[in-house]
């Protein structure tokens, strides 16, 4: 399956970010803690070459905590300021402001020597679609400043949000990049919901998820849907299917996903599995390791 998705508004959004980068002191880049590498747009790295950088490993409550700790160390070694966070609770909102001040300490000191005191730090909040930027901003601001939604493309244009006298945030739309060099990147982005599901074969996508989890968290799917190995073997023989599609068939049967005539509905089972994964109902799982 081709996991490319780059609608026209993303070109416009990237152009807007390029035009505003000269106003910015620091880029706060959100990436999904389940895919910390695939979830980082290389164009943002290029954009922020000469800017201070803070990486937020967002949705950390959905990711494997041991793996997230390794990613945090990985990016800190590369010179980034890093924070793992669950933007929905916003428990670490205070730490974000503290890290921004620490990251920009050199700039703040330089301003003082020039007699510039009290100028707010300007931060650009950037990331891929559906990574939680608007929820993150609202928690930082303590109010509903940005539109939120559990699907890509909710934020359409730029928004400046003031966090008191010391900090201003520029919210930007979620952007992907025109071509993924590695198909695995596109697959991982599709799995966490950063692409429009309407453009994807969700049964195939769900089978890819089953395959990945069978290698890293082999019990997660079986335990969630009460599947037995005998049941999977039976579906493989009956339907001449692959092990992954046999698992999907077992999910469909056990969760009563049927079409008319008692035929199992693989698309309904796939949508169920993807929704459970994206919302953490399979457990805290990470798709990538450093």
pLDDT tens per residue across span 194-243? 988 988 999 999 999 999 999 999 999 999 999 999 999 999 888 767 89
User: Which residue, chain included where needed, has tokens 């890509």?
Assistant: 152
117 falls in which pLDDT band (50, 70, 90)?
A: confident
**pLDDT beyond 90 at 94:** no
Question: What's the average model confidence in pLDDT over 107-136?
Answer: 91
253-264 pLDDT, tens digit per residue, is 999 999 987 899
Average pLDDT, the chain: 89
pLDDT attached to residue 33: 98
Question: What's the predicted TM-score (pTM) here?
Answer: 0.89
Domain boundaries for CATH 3.40.50.300 within the chain: 8-171
b/e per residue, 93-125, with b = 16+ CB within 10 A?
beebbebbeebbeeebeebeeeeeeeeebbbbb
**pLDDT beyond 90 at 41:** yes
Residues 6+ apart with CB under 8 A from 56: 28, 29, 30, 31, 82, 83, 84, 85, 87, 96, 136
Percentage of residues of the chain with pLDDT beyond 90: 63
pLDDT attached to residue 187: 95
pLDDT attached to residue 164: 82
pLDDT attached to residue 238: 81
pLDDT attached to residue 152: 41
pLDDT attached to residue 69: 98
**pLDDT beyond 70 at 192:** yes
Question: What's the average model confidence in pLDDT over 22-50?
Answer: 94
Tell me which of 242 and 78 has the higher pLDDT: 78
- The CATH number for 201-278, chosen from 1.10.340, 1.10.1580, 1.10.10, 3.30.67, is 1.10.1580
**pLDDT beyond 80 at 89:** yes
119-133 pLDDT, tens digit per residue, is 899 999 999 999 999
pLDDT attached to residue 155: 43
Question: What's the average model confidence in pLDDT over 94-111?
Answer: 92
**pLDDT beyond 70 at 270:** yes
DSSP helix, strand, coil percent of the chain (3-state; round to 5): 45, 15, 40
Distance CA 177, CA 190 (A): 14
Tell me which of 32 and 11 has the higher pLDDT: 32
**pLDDT beyond 60 at 91:** yes
4 falls in which pLDDT band (50, 70, 90)?
A: low
Taking CA atoms, 121 is separated from 26, 100, 103, 108, in Å, by: 8, 8, 11, 8
152-185 pLDDT, tens digit per residue, is 434 445 678 888 888 999 988 889 887 888 889 9
Q: What is the token pair recorded at 68?
A: 């997230």
- The CATH number for 8-171, chosen from 1.10.760.10, 3.30.565.10, 3.30.930.10, 3.40.50.300, is 3.40.50.300
CB 54 within 8 A of CB 136: no
Distance CA 218, CA 8 (A): 39
């Amino acid at each position: 399956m081709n996991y490319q998705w780059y609608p026209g508004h993303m070109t416009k959004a990237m152009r807007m970010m390029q035009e505003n980068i000269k106003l910015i002191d620091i880029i706060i880049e959100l990436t999904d803690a389940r895919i910390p590498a695939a979830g980082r747009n290389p164009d943002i790295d290029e954009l922020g070459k000469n800017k201070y950088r803070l990486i937020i490993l967002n949705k950390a409550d959905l990711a494997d905590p041991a793996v997230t700790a390794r990613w945090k160390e990985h990016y800190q070694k590369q010179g980034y300021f890093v924070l793992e966070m669950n933007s929905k609770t916003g428990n670490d909102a205070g730490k974000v402001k503290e890290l921004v001040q620490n990251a920009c300490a050199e700039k703040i000191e330089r301003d003082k020597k020039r007699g510039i005191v009290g100028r707010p730090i300007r931060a650009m909040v950037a990331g891929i679609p559906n990574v939680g930027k608007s929820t993150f901003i609202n928690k930082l601001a303590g109010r509903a400043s940005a539109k939120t939604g559990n699907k890509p493309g909710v934020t359409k244009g730029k928004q400046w949000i003031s966090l008191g006298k010391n900090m201003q945030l520029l919210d930007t739309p979620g952007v992907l990049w025109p071509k993924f060099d590695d198909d695995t990147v596109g697959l991982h982005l599709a799995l966490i919901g950063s692409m429009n599901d309407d453009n994807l074969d969700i049964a195939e996508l769900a089978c890819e998820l089953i395959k990945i989890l069978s290698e890293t968290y082999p019990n997660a799917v079986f335990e969630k849907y009460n599947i037995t190995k005998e049941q999977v073997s039976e579906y493989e023989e009956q339907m001449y299917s692959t092990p992954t599609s046999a698992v999907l068939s077992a999910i469909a049967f056990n969760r009563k996903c049927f079409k008319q005539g008692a035929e199992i509905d693989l698309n309904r089972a796939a949508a169920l599995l993807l929704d459970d994964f994206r919302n953490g109902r399979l457990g805290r799982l990470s798709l990538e390791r450093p």
